Structure formats: C-alpha cells, structure tokens
Amino acid sequence: MITVALTKGRLFKDFLKYMNGNGLTVYNEALEEETRSLYTVVDNVKFIFAKGPDVPTYVESGVADLGIVGSDIITEETFNILNVSQLPFGECHFSVAALPDQQEFKVIATKYMNIAQTHFKNKRQDVSLIHLNGSVELAPLLGLSDGIVDIVQTGSTLRDNGLVEHEEIMEVHARLIANKRTFYTKEDEIYSFIKEIGVIE
C-alpha cells in the first residue's frame, strides 16, 4: 500500500475535477464522500488529508509516500523531498497587489515572506515586509502596508476589496512530490499509481 497526502480546499477540488476528467471515478467516489475522517483507503492507496503547508512535512518524514501540493508551498520553504512532476491543474499566480492609485511600495504585507523577499531583492528594491497569516487584503486598506504579495486565482477577492494587481511575480501550479526513500522502495506501486492518474505515459 502507498500513502498519498492531499490538501483540502481549492487544490483538492482541482484534483477531483482532473480525476473525473480522466475517468478515475473509483477514487473520486471515496474522496468526495462527506466525512470527518482524516484518511480514506481505495484499493491499494491510502489518501490522507492535511493542511497544504503540512503535506511536504508528511512526505519528507515518510508518513506519506507521495503528496500533491501547490508549488507556492515548496518554493516558500525548503523540504528534503523529490519534486517529481508538475501536474496539469491548480494554476494560479503570485502578484503584488494594492489600491489602484498606489505608486510606490515601501511596505508589503504577505504570508509568503521568502517569495516576496526574493522578488524585491532581485529587483534591488528596498521593501519592508510584514508577515500576516490571513486576510492580507486588509493591510493596504487599513494603512498597514502599501501593498501585498499573495496568490491570485480569479482576482475576485482583490476586486471585492478594491485592490488591483500591479505586478505578476510567478506562476503557481500543482506539484507531485515524493519521499526520497520510499519512491524507490515502493517503486512498482508508486509508478502504477502515477501512471494511472496520467502523470507519466
């Protein structure tokens, strides 16, 4: 048996849509069940549900053999994992966003400190960063920052709060990651699964 770590939320919904599109209903029937269980088993695959930032930790530790996670998470932090493949779903991007008339950025609020720091360092732009865990859109509205660095998918949250994108930083997409040891010790089972879900031909 192999264990696959998934994150509930937007990426999970994209994964289910992708699986449905590829006719893999045997997995979706189990994954779409309304339940409070933190895991489910389908044939020879155990799916565990975790917070997005925790998925690479489960994979790194060997609790999970594979994980599906946003590239934002493994770009923001360093994990000792195999970054196996880009997946054809979960597309969005990072942007610098602010009020429409904002001209310069000296203070930026973000959850993604490393990504923001790298971006402004590469631009040789001196910016102070404020770390927030959620609702970063509030920061420029309340005068805490000049703008934010955050993930944008549809842009509706920005529009709802009167903010606009000033600069796109980088693309974000789903990645398949693997534990460095079990990727080889469970090679046959893992390759069978990733071939089944269309990661390899």
Specify whether the CB–CB gap between 90 and 12 falls below 8 A: no
pLDDT on residue 6 = 94
Say yes or no to pLDDT of 187 above 80.
yes
Specify whether the CB–CB gap between 51 and 91 falls below 8 A: no
The residue ranges of every structural domain in the chain are 2-90+173-196, 92-171
Say yes or no to pLDDT of 201 above 80.
no
Specify whether the CB–CB gap between 199 and 84 falls below 8 A: yes
Hey, do 2-90+173-196 and 92-171 end up sharing a CATH topology, with the first three levels equal?
yes
pTM, full prediction: 0.89
| pLDDT bracket for residue 101 (50, 70, 90) | very high
Mean pLDDT along residues 39-46: 87
pLDDT on residue 36 = 66
Which alpha helices (DSSP H) does the chain contain, by range?
A: 10-21, 25-31, 55-61, 71-76, 113-122, 138-141, 156-160, 182-185, 187-196
Q: How far is CA 78 from CA 162, 163, 169, in A?
A: 34, 31, 19
Q: Which CATH number fits domain 92-171: 1.20.210.10, 3.40.720.10, 1.50.10.10, 3.40.190.10?
A: 3.40.190.10
In whole numbers, what is the pLDDT of the chain averaged over residues? Answer: 91
How many helices (H) and strands (E) in the chain?
A: 9, 11
Task: Report domain 2-90+173-196's class.
Answer: alpha beta
| pLDDT bracket for residue 196 (50, 70, 90) | confident
Among all chains, which residue has been given the structure tokens 């770390």?
A: 131
Tokens of 44: 């020879």
Residue 88 and residue 40: Cα distance in Å, rounded? 24
